[in-house]
Structure 1
Amino acid sequence: MTLTVLRYIVAVAQERHFGRAAERCFISQPALSLAIQKLEEELNASLFERKKSEVTLTPLGEQIVQQAQRVLEEAEQITLIAAQGKNQLVGRLRLGAISTVGPYILPDLVTALHKRAPQMPLEIEENLTANLTRMLKSGKLDVILIALPFEEPGIISEALYDEPFKMVVPVTHPWAKRSEVDARELSGQDVLLPHAGHCFRQQVLDSCPDLSRSDAEGIQGNSLETIRQMVISGLGITVMPTSALTAKYQHKRLVAVPFIKPVPQRRIGLAWRRGFTRPAALEVIRHAMRTLKIPALTPISSS
């Protein structure tokens, strides 16, 4: 059994056709069929049901092909590890981001990273903090963008930037004509926030204690964009990070009103496993973050 034969059976399973699989593997169909036949004899098991119109996997064949795919992926990692040992900016980086950061920071960050590390493609996961944490600890992610403080055993975190919040109201709301608003005034308003589990919800409640005392369930949304649309419809008002209020997200039926000091804000940082072997990748992310032209973000210099 060789990696080459494993590639053959994966190709047949995906193509459902020996001829197409042979073309994909740059081999003649008789040679491919013979190799798979020898593997079936070696395993004493039939992997495929051969029909005139198509090829289908046997139940056992399906399990073996799934394992073959995992073996091929792990073998690919060996090549990747060797390449990264020579240049840490070569090879895929698995980056996670909380959902109130990803849509607003990643478009500019990915572009900036590609300029600095063109051979480091990003596999991106956008999720809740709890899910990102599990994926980071299990090795499914390399680094995550999360809100601080973030304390987890075996994980290192570092602040990247501070970001103030703004009040977002419909143009028909009385606050739409104000130059600023006091966070303590939110307790008497219908404030739309993300569902529990979104760290941004807790950040707003922590920054606006009067709102926290009056907030039970309230009106909730799955994302900031869903909430934005509900505010446009006139259902209530909301609080958003300034990265979600740049020119591309402006709407003629909404007004963003600054808070008076002390302005509610959040701190965003990077987190990675202790012993992560690609510190150069972390450094290039830091540099790329400092180049972003997003108004109101205050970069934090690493010590």
Structure 2
Amino acid sequence: MNLPTVKQLRYFIALESHEHFGKAAEACFVSQSAFSTAIRELETTLEVQLVDRTNKNVTVTHVGRQIAVEARRCLRDIENLVELARSNHAPLTGELRVGIIPTIAPFLLPRVLPPLRQQFPNLRLYLSEDITQRVYEKLMHGELDLIIIALPYALRNVEVMSLFKDRFFLACREDTRHTRPKHHIFNDLDPESILLLEDGHCLRDHTLSACHLQDMDKISRFTASSLLTLTQMVDADLGISYLPEMVKGSTLLTGTNVKIWPLQEESYREIGLAWRRGSAREVEFKQLGAFIKTTWLKLLEAV
């Protein structure tokens, strides 16, 4: 019996996700001609048409969608086999694919990665930065081993390890016209005074929830696509915002007149790790989490 190869399955999963030969080939770091050949060989092996091809579009057939689901399961099983073999090696060695969200990556990574590389020189860390939903999907599709995200967030079929609390601070100019920074009272804010990230960023939801921002009239219609843009809007005194503690000591506020002040109530998001339930590398992931937690808490004490 002829069986499909792992490479063919990976290519087809990419094609099913992108529904475009060029984009899927690029995502797999292979030429489009080699990619197309592999898909045709997979169809020949399975004796079924996986995609309908036209000059402009690629449509995955009904049976192709079913095969893509099973292909993902097959790849996860193969990866579990590899993880099981690696579990007999020294911990935190070899390749580790980690997804991380953009409201954590620029603040956590520059401070944690140098001591991590020093402590575990044989660990090859591949990083993928994206919003929470997409890194979670990549984790469940087997494209990532581990993700670093902000909690709470609805997750299924994963194990979660909480690392530390990331408190929220008021962020504004000291001479802002919107509030008195040292005596900030939410109810005294004018309508549309609060600037937040756009929908899709979990930091927006965490800010609304943790800071108890229930009066939506005070939330500005104008949103930012990144923390850098949000900070620039605050620096122009277009409004005030709330930033996580991990921005302290970072370059985000450098060159601006934006300062941060603690809030009267304890408002925070949790930073945590998540991995697929049943992973053979669970002990290793927990060891990594403990290292990140210890390193970060030491850094906070020094700031």
TM-score by length of 1: 0.66
Match of 2:25 in 1: none
Pair 110,197 (structure 1): closer, same or farther in 2 beyond 3 Å: same
Structure 2: distance between partners of 1:117 and 1:83: 15
Structure 2: distance between partners of 1:161 and 1:154: 22
Moved more, 107-116 or 250-259: 250-259
Pair 178,58 (structure 1): closer, same or farther in 2 beyond 3 Å: closer
Give how far 1:182 is off: 3.3
Structure 2: distance between partners of 1:172 and 1:241: 21
Match of 1:241 in 2: 244
Name stretches of at least 5 consecutive residues in structure 1 with no aligned partner.
Answer: 1-56, 69-76, 298-303
| Structure 2 residue corresponding to 1:209, chosen from 209, 212, 223 | 212
> What are the superposed Cα offsets for residues 88-139 of structure 1, whole Å, 9 maximum, x if unpaired?
3221111111211111111112112212211112111111111111111111
Match of 1:86 in 2: 89
The amino acid that maps onto 1:254 is V
| Structure 2 residue corresponding to 1:181, chosen from 138, 160, 184 | 184
Structure 1: distance between partners of 2:163 and 2:82: 32
Match of 2:36 in 1: 63
Mapped contact 2:92–2:120 kept (Cα < 8 A): yes
Match of 2:300 in 1: 295
Matched, 1:268 2:271: yes
The amino acid that maps onto 1:159 is S
Q: How many residues align?
A: 235
Structure 2: distance between partners of 1:206 and 1:224: 18
Pair 164,186 (structure 1): closer, same or farther in 2 beyond 3 Å: farther
Give how far 1:245 is off: 2.8
| Structure 2 residue corresponding to 1:155, chosen from 155, 158, 169 | 158
Structure 2: distance between partners of 1:210 and 1:152: 24
Mapped contact 1:91–1:120 kept (Cα < 8 A): yes
**Pairs within 5 Å for 1:250-261:** 250-251=253-254, 252-260=256-264
Mapped contact 1:183–1:208 kept (Cα < 8 A): no
The amino acid that maps onto 2:131 is L
| Structure 1 residue corresponding to 2:228, chosen from 225, 229, 240 | 225
Give how far 1:209 is off: 3.4
Give how far 1:213 is off: 2.9
Structure 1: distance between partners of 2:213 and 2:84: 52
Identity value in percent: 26
Give how far 1:141 is off: 0.9
Question: Root-mean-square deviation (CA), in Å?
Answer: 3.4
Give how far 1:215 is off: 5.2
Structure 1: distance between partners of 2:259 and 2:220: 25
Mapped contact 1:243–1:294 kept (Cα < 8 A): no
Moved more, 150-159 or 184-193: 184-193
> What are the superposed Cα offsets for residues 49-104 of structure 1, whole Å, 9 maximum, x if unpaired?
xxxxxxxx894x56347999xxxxxxxx8999755532232211111112111111
Mapped contact 2:171–2:241 kept (Cα < 8 A): yes
